[in-house]
């Protein structure tokens, strides 16, 4: 069962699962735009929920062109969720699977920007878990975006 989100958000397409976080493409009905919803399921303990919300708050306090903008977060008692900017595009993992090389002129500024963004999040004490190729989305419309924040740490929480 999906989280009880504010009525302005309508879940559209389940994108998959990133460790203990389920991801959805949704619509913000008030602003008529796509958004990303990341939510923890009911199997997650209270400690993980608390850490997820703390990491989302940290992410929301940073403005950086290579980080998702957080729009909302909350809990319904069973699920904990965040609503963020929909970055679109494809993941770096998708490009690797497709065998599509990334031109150096695209790679270098994005790699430097992503490292800077991750550094800003880490400076606040937030943990991203293990960032990999699936956690970075590329789009021609904007710089690469780090998607995988608020994942569990290597110890699971």
DSSP 8-state assignment for residue 155: T
Distance CA 59, CA 118 (A): 10
Distance CA 64, CA 79 (A): 28
Residue 91, beta-bridge partner list: 137
Q: What is the pLDDT of residues 49-66, one digit of tens each?
A: 998 998 888 889 889 999
Is this structure's pTM higher than 0.85? no
Contact (CB, 8 A) for 41 and 22:
yes
Q: What is the pLDDT of residues 32-45, one digit of tens each?
A: 999 999 999 888 99
- Choice between 80 and 131, residue whose per-residue pLDDT is larger: 80
Tokens describing residue 1: 């069962």
Tokens describing residue 56: 């989302």
3 state DSSP class of 140: coil
Number of residues that make up the chain: 157
Distance CA 16, CA 5 (A): 18
DSSP 8-state assignment for residue 4: -
In this predicted structure, the answer to whether residue 155 has a pLDDT above a threshold of 70 is no
Q: What is the pLDDT of residues 17-31, one digit of tens each?
A: 877 889 999 999 999
Write down the H helix ranges in 83-139.
Answer: 92-98, 104-123
């Amino acid at each position: 069962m999906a989280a009880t989100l504010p009525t302005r958000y309508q879940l559209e397409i389940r994108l998959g699962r990133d460790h203990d976080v389920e991801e959805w493409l949704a619509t913000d009905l008030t602003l008529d735009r796509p958004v990303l919803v990341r939510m923890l399921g009911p199997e997650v303990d209270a400690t993980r929920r608390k850490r997820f919300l703390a990491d989302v708050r940290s992410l929301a306090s940073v403005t950086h062109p290579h980080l998702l903008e957080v729009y909302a977060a909350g809990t319904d008692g069973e699920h904990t969720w965040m609503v963020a900017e929909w970055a679109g595009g494809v993941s770096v993992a998708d490009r690797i699977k497709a065998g599509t090389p990334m031109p150096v002129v695209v790679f270098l500024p994005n790699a430097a920007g992503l490292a800077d963004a991750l550094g800003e999040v880490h400076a606040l004490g937030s943990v991203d878990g293990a960032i990999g190729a699936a956690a970075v989305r590329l789009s021609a419309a904007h710089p690469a975006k780090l998607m995988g924040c608020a994942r569990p740490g290597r110890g699971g929480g």
